[in-house]
Amino acid sequence: MRKLLYISLTTAAVFLSSCSKDDFADAYKNPSTVETTTVPKQFAGFMKINFEDVIPSYWNYFTVLQSTSLTYTQGHGFINSSGRYIPGAATVYRWNRFYKFIAQYRELEKVMASLPANTQTENRIYAITSTIYLYDHTQKMIDNYGDIPFSQAGKISLTGGNYTEALAKYDNQTELYTLMLDQLKAFSAELNSITLSVGVALEFKNQDLINKGDLVSWKNYCNSLRLKMLNRVSAVPAFAARANTEMAAIITEGKIVDENTENIAFRVYTQETDLDTSGFHDAMEGGNDIAPKAMIDHMNANNDPRKPWLFEAALATPGVYTGLDPLLTSSDQNQLITDAKISTYNRSVISRNDWLPGTLINAAEVNLILAEYYSRTGNAGSAKTYFEKAIRQSVEYYVRLGDKADDTTWKPTTEPTTAEIDAYIAAINFAAATTPADQLKLIAFQKYIHYNVMQADESWAEQRRLKLPALEFREDETSSVRKTPPTRWTYPTSESVNNTVNYNAVKANDNLSTKIFWDIK
């Protein structure tokens, strides 16, 4: 791997929402000037280094998602340009940022290991919660790439600066999922009984950028992440029994993100630090805010109450919502956009909303997972209950995003009524889907709508896993590499150059057609 990836990264001071931008910058020193750190500071630094992967940002949306997951899922409308199904530089950006992230985690491990045993025990909460957060993003890396360097990655500081020794092997994706599921299960049990001293509790609250020290929220986050991962591997023979058994146990315990008030997110509390959505406006409205046809057609046909909150009517046709047809030629698509006949994402609620949260786990997502679980295990009644609950939560979620919109020009003037939401649910009519296969089609389409541009990585993983919704794509006839959306990302070329021996062990699978291990349909 590139040497940059192994640098011991910046440590972090206490994050307070009242800090000015200058104060915050001073708190996160240049790594070359930092000689000492502490577990709490390193914990905050670890979480902070990753914020642009979570909070809507220019970097993540414009340089990574707009040319990959958003296009592959039709989360937005896109122009049928040459090479559109080849990830390109996006894979490099995401790869490098993950290794900066994991290097911070290794530094946290290093600092923790240097403490006396009793102090390590006292600070155990940092090890548990940092690893939950690490696994959330490691799962996303596996879902994009397959095998990845993990167990030996980010350890340049531990090797005394020896780059050769720090070159990391690729860990098997199935084994990594098993490891993460095992440890998350253990963390869930441990969080039931862990107690914090007054001092640790206060410091943890100050440094925790996600849940502000709330242990109940961390428990819910841990179990909801387990549900998502277990569901993703539920069709893999080696995981099927475990998935259903453990999901049932998690549901029985009831410690999950079940309501919107419990959503786990990297929230924006102030515009006075760099932990904000700065640049997202430009990233979206630079061509990535185009409405997709499949989503708009469904919303039009069923009077989806989310439509005016997620989208704006086309400028040339007031009151009419039209999505960009992915089967048209690029010249026809461009003409429609030029003529202002295509809808866009809502500027007040989405693209110009400076307070958008960085979603990690939310209630609608969890309840759609539960709907799928109950459908798969033959309980259609419960599947219907959770399916409909998820829709209501999704509507509420997007309506509430508009609460803090600074520019309300495009914000709807009235909120959806209960009757309108009921009518939409009745139009979909889950009860009429009498087979698990038909129920899954409905569940998958609701995932597609709910994830849209806000959770593009999750949407791409679910669409590859389920092969639903059955979206149509125009083939890229100009490409000799990939004519349809890929099934994984390829590794950056820097790996074959700088981490040659380890890369060669996975080289045979490094193409756009190799499936991730859970992609078996």
Q: Residues 136-145: pLDDT tens digits?
A: 999 999 999 9
Residue-wise pLDDT tens digits, 243-266: 999 999 999 999 999 999 999 999
181 within a domain of the structure (yes/no): no
Q: How many CB atoms lie within 10 A of CB 432?
A: 9
Per the domain annotation, does 129 fall within a domain? Answer: no
Q: Give the span between the Cα atoms of 247 and 450, in whole angstroms.
A: 22
How far apart are alpha carbons 74 and 489 in whole angstroms? 17
Q: Is residue 420 pLDDT above 50, yes or no?
A: yes
Please return the burial class of 441, using the count of CB atoms within 10 Å of its CB with bins 0-12, 13-18 and 19+. Answer: middle
SS (H, E, C) 209-228: CCCCCCHHHHHHHHHHHHHH
135-139 own/partner pairs: CB under 8 Å, 24+ apart: 135/180, 135/183, 135/184, 135/225, 136/225, 136/360, 137/50, 137/53, 137/98, 137/101, 138/102, 138/176, 138/180, 139/177, 139/180, 139/225, 139/228, 139/229
The mean pLDDT value of the chain amounts to: 92
351 occurs within a structural domain: yes
**Both tokens of residue 517?**
């291990």
Which structural domain range is residue 329 located in?
A: 264-271+290-454
**Residue 160, pLDDT above cutoff 90:** no
What's the mean pLDDT in 500-518?
98
pLDDT exceeds cutoff 80 at 20:
no
Give mean pLDDT, residues 47-51: 94
Residue 272, pLDDT score: 87
Please check whether residue 104 lies inside any domain of the structure.
Answer: no
Over range 488-495, report the average pLDDT.
96
Residue 87: CB atoms within 10 Å: 22
> Is residue 304 included in any domain, yes or no?
yes
Percent of the chain with pLDDT over 90: 88
In which band, very low, low, confident or very high, does the pLDDT at 162 lie, cut at 50, 70 and 90? low
DSSP code for 233: T
Question: Stretch 29-43: mean pLDDT, rounded?
Answer: 69
Residue 490's Cα: distance from chain center in Å? Answer: 19
Alpha helix stretches (DSSP H) within 191-292: 198-207, 215-232, 237-253, 280-285
Question: Side chain identity at 412, as an amino acid letter?
Answer: P
The yes-or-no verdict on residue 467 having pLDDT over 70 is yes
Over 90: is that where the pLDDT of 27 sits? Answer: no
Give domain status of residue 141, yes or no.
no
Three-state DSSP at 290 gives strand
The 3 state secondary structure assigned to 93-143 is HHHHHHHHHHHHHHHHHHHHHCCCHHHHHHCHHHHHHHHHHHHHHHHHHHH
CATH number at 418 reads 1.25.40.390
pLDDT at 108: 97
- Taking a C-beta distance cutoff of 8 angstroms, is the pair 101, 501 a contact? no
Nearest to 276 by CA among 404, 377, 157: 404
**pLDDT(164) > 90:** no
The pLDDT of residue 336 is above 50: yes
Torsion sign, CA atoms 217, 219, 221, 224: negative
What confidence category does residue 235 fall into, taking pLDDT thresholds of 50, 70 and 90?
very high
Residue 485 has phi, psi (to 5 degrees) of -55, 140
Coil, helix or strand for 170? strand
Residue 508 clears pLDDT 60, i.e. is over it: yes
Residue 142: both structure tokens together: 């596996």
For residues 211 and 326, give the distance between their C-alpha atoms in angstroms, rounded to a whole number: 40
Q: Which SS3 state, helix, strand or coil, does residue 311 take?
A: strand
Mean predicted confidence (pLDDT) in 294-302: 98
User: What is the structure's pLDDT at 432?
Assistant: 98
* pTM, two decimal places: 0.93
When pLDDT is averaged across residues 125-140 and rounded to a whole number, the result is: 98
pLDDT at 389 > cutoff 60: yes
Domain total for the chain? 1
Q: Between residues 421 and 16, which one has the greater pLDDT? A: 421
pLDDT classification of 53: cutoffs 50, 70, 90: very high
pLDDT over 70 (residue 436):
yes
- pLDDT, tens digit, 9 for 90 and up, residues 352-385: 999 999 999 999 999 999 999 999 999 999 999 9
Q: What DSSP assignment string belongs to 358-412?
A: EEEE-HHHHHHHHHHHHHHTT-HHHHHHHHHHHHHHHHHHHHHHGGG-S--TTS-
Answer yes or no: is pLDDT of 447 > 70: yes
At residue 178 the predicted structure's pLDDT band, cuts being 50, 70 and 90, is very high
The tens digit of pLDDT for each residue in 286-295 reads 889 999 999 9
Buried-exposed string 160-199: b where 16+ CB fall within 10 A, e elsewhere:
eeeeeebbbbbbbbbebbebbbeebbebbeebeeeebeee
In this predicted model, which residue has the larger pLDDT, 7 or 226?
A: 226
Q: Establish if 315 belongs to a structural domain.
A: yes
Does 344 reside within a domain? Answer: yes
